[in-house]
Structure 1
């Protein structure tokens, strides 16, 4: 009986050492990988412009009621002039009038009424011509306290997807170049992490850790990196 128990214990010990040895060997045979950063860039043109303008009217301390009437007249004139241009607007947004006190050396001297308007249009060229030289509005007695154009692309999400694919492909090409002098080959993509998108005007070196989205230029350059890890075989 004792001999049988000793034999069984011996077999278990041999089996245990065998399993331990196998796991030890596997742990030493770590998978070989290569980590690279892929890069892709693309230049594209905007197809949507947002033009924002601000109308204003200064009035005396007792002139707020008259100020509202004058602002309504200015808004009506703006709409009439806009309709005369024949440029279609996908969206025409008028914000409420804001009233702020104006102060001089002796204290408050009156109020300043302002109203912001913005237009969205696909006719970038015509909007830009008017914004740069707003003679048609000036001739109607309208002056803007602020005028700003912002350019966007409705295809941006598709552009981003294509760019991520290009950056990942670039990462694989770089990995293949790294191992080209060895007897190894790039195999499967194990992981990939995208960096932030940098959307700038052409030939700009501007970058930011949180990304950049320039809206001042109708022609833009978009850049992205992809950190990838590939297995080797």
Structure 2
């Protein structure tokens, strides 16, 4: 009776051991396969492109001084009319030009009057030009001597008076630049895979960085440099 019970128990134990061993081997192989599938390389691809600005914003500022306030307003009107005529002669229309209100300062109302002060009132006027005719704006800036001959001194190229150039057609270049950034990333990944004795597999994940637009250099702000970086993770295979 005891012998007949021992043999089936022994057989059952051997069967369980074999099953556990097989399961262990399977799990080990599965773990190795999963580990191999997680071999990846993450690379970045850069794309840059230079484009011409398509919008120019030019603040044209001039000043006038007087001791008589009504006469000061007359002077401002005369100078403003000359600037407006000058811009229209250069090919700009009314929709591109806006005349701001004059900023007038009464120096005697400041609580301290300089005895050597020659003029009581000083005024600043800004005429803003917002135009898509960028080349025409650049050429017009070179013609400012015409206004100087009319007795109108336009402010220099400091921060307040500088012309701002914009590029607003980013959607036109986005697709090609994203493609180029991705191609550059793949070239880097291919080189890494080759050097490590592997082959490049499928893309695991990819992300596109922000597009940035900046001046190409300080001397030509009308030329913009667009830049984007894509980050791509590839699987590696043997």
TM-score, normalization by structure 2: 0.68
Q: Which range moves more in the overlay, 29-38 or 115-124?
A: 115-124
CA radius of gyration, larger in? 2
User: Match for residue 51 of structure 2?
Assistant: 44
User: Match for residue 214 of structure 2?
Assistant: 199
For the residues of structure 2 that align with 1:165 and 1:153, how far apart are their CA atoms?
A: 21
Q: Which structure 2 residues correspond to residues 94-105 of structure 1 after superposition, within 5 A?
A: 94-102=99-107
Native 8 Å contact 2:56 2:133 kept in 1? yes
1:107 to 97, 110, 113: 113
User: Match for residue 6 of structure 2?
Assistant: none
Q: Which structure 2 residues correspond to residues 62-77 of structure 1 after superposition, within 5 A?
A: 63-77=68-82
C-alpha offsets along residues 114-172 of structure 1, whole Å, 9 cap, x if unaligned?
12122133433332232123122223332212453333334233224432331122112
User: Match for residue 91 of structure 1?
Assistant: 96
2:183 to 163, 169, 193: 169
Match status 1:132 vs 2:139: no
Which structure 1 residue ranges, 5 or more long, are not aligned?
1-6, 205-213
User: Match for residue 7 of structure 2?
Assistant: none
After the TM superposition, list the runs of 4 or more consecutive aligned residues in structure 1 that deviate by more than 6 angstroms: none
Which structure 2 residue ranges, 5 or more long, are not aligned?
1-11
For the residues of structure 2 that align with 1:119 and 1:180, how far apart are their CA atoms?
A: 56
Native 8 Å contact 1:152 1:215 kept in 2? no
Give the number of the structure whose residues are more often strand, by fraction.
1
TM-score, normalization by structure 1: 0.70
User: Match for residue 154 of structure 2?
Assistant: 144
Deviation of residue 188 (structure 1)? 1.4
2:130 to 112, 120, 125: 120
Give the number of the structure whose residues are more often helix, by fraction.
2
Q: Which range moves more in the overlay, 50-59 or 22-31?
A: 22-31
For the residues of structure 2 that align with 1:174 and 1:135, how far apart are their CA atoms?
A: 54
C-alpha offsets along residues 163-213 of structure 1, whole Å, 9 cap, x if unaligned?
233112211221111102323223114132415525232xx5xxxxxxxxx
